[in-house]
Chain A
Amino acid sequence: MLVIVPFGLLFGVAGTEAGLNLSEVMGFSILVIAGASQFTAVQLMSDNAPVILVLLTSLAVNLRMAMYSASLAPHLGAASRWHKTLIAYFMVDQAYVLSIQDYEARPKQSLTQKLAYYAGVCTPLCPQWYVSTWVGAVIGQAIPPEFALDFAAPITFLAMLAPAMRTLAHVAAAAVSVIVALVLAFLPSGLGLLIAAGAAMVTGAKVEVWMQRRRA
């Protein structure tokens, strides 16, 4: 829960640093409400990447949410369309992780109880995201360049990534992503990254299969 506020602040700062105005920064946090992809978009935009590559790459970061959606479907799929719309809008990483843990720990809950838990998780999370983005955008303009805030976004990415290095497959995927992105850095901005991400996904999946076979 604590993670939301610093991320929101940093996104607000990074967005204004990159040249977005307050309403655009807030537009990201309210309409997209997915931190890592927002950072990705802003980073590519400050690199002047073509619009289509900004969209493809930052949406690729959110592909994992289709996986969240699939894993929540058995629990919440029976809810009304209106409820499912709200659930989808608020499906941030923390909301998914906390809810699925609760549903798996206590599978006998009714749909109403599950919906109540989900709402209870989102209520403190999401307003914090909006407010901290706003604060970051407002104070970001007042912070002098000595504070090297250009590097706030890369540090945030690395900090999010490090705990995700759970298996050899994750490490291999990350390594391929880094190497291919650096080698293809001469391509128009965003294009090398998209190729690197594709290669890294395949690497992660292949290494996972290989590790399973070795264990079997």
Chain B
Amino acid sequence: MEHYSKPEIWLIIVVMGIGTFFLRYSFLGLIGNRPLPEWALRYLRYTPVAVLPGLVAPLVIWPSATGGAFDPARLLAACATVLVGVVTRNVLAAIAGGLGTLYLALWLLG
């Protein structure tokens, strides 16, 4: 984070705010009632599952807290989160399962 000046941090916040607003306003306000073509919907549907896994994977394999060294406790916690999430379909249960496993594993293995 030291890498960024204060104006750069606020530039990121403000541009993200404006960009996100226009994504939300887009069809409602500017383009009107024309339906989105099916091929465009097909790509948009997958944006969250396309971005987030790739963002998390390196954090699980090379955690910043250990200076990038592989950590079995964090890998176990990640697996537990996904498992609980897939089984229960409940985001909060998955977070609780993940954090619980992380603390248990850190305590047992640490």
Contacts and interface: CB of A to CB of B under 8 A. Distances in A.
Interface of A: 2-3, 6, 10, 18-20, 24, 27-28, 31-34, 36-38, 40-41, 43-46, 48, 51, 54-55, 57-70, 72-74, 76-77, 81, 84-85, 87-89, 91, 145, 147-148, 150-165, 169-170, 173-178, 180-182, 185, 192-193, 196-205, 208-209
B13 A31 contact: yes
Given A69-B25, A77-B32, A155-B95, A173 B46 contact: yes
Given A159-B94, A162-B81, A177 B28 contact: no
A37 B74 CA distance: 23
B27 A73 contact: yes
A210 B6 CA distance: 48
Interface in B63-110: 63-65, 74, 77-78, 81-86, 89-92, 94-95, 98-99, 102-103, 106
Contacts, number: 287
Interface of B: 1-4, 8-17, 19-21, 23-29, 31-33, 35-36, 39, 41-65, 74, 77-78, 81-86, 89-92, 94-95, 98-99, 102-103, 106
Nearest to A38: B16
- Main SS of chain B's interface residues? helix
Contact of A163 (B33, B44, B77, B90): B90
Contact of B52 (A61, A69, A81): A61
Given A2-B92, A51-B11, A205 B46 contact: yes
B16 A58 contact: yes
B9 A209 contact: no
A108 B82 CA distance: 40
A193 B64 contact: no
A85 B85 contact: no
Given A159-B98, A170-B49, A62 B81 contact: no
Contacts of A145: 65
13 contacts: A24-B13, A31-B13, A32-B16, A55-B15, A69-B23, A148-B106, A154-B78, A157-B55, A159-B91, A159-B95, A161-B82, A181-B53, A200-B46
A81 B30 CA distance: 10
B42 A208 contact: yes
Contact of A177 (B31, B53, B63, B103): B53
- The 10 A-B pairs of least Cβ separation, nearest first, read A162-B85, A204-B46, A181-B54, A31-B17, A19-B1, A200-B50, A159-B94, A88-B25, A196-B54, A177-B54
Nearest to A47: B64
Contacts of A68: 24
Given A59-B19, A88-B25, A158-B85, A193 B49 contact: no
B23 A62 contact: yes
Contacts of B41: 67, 70
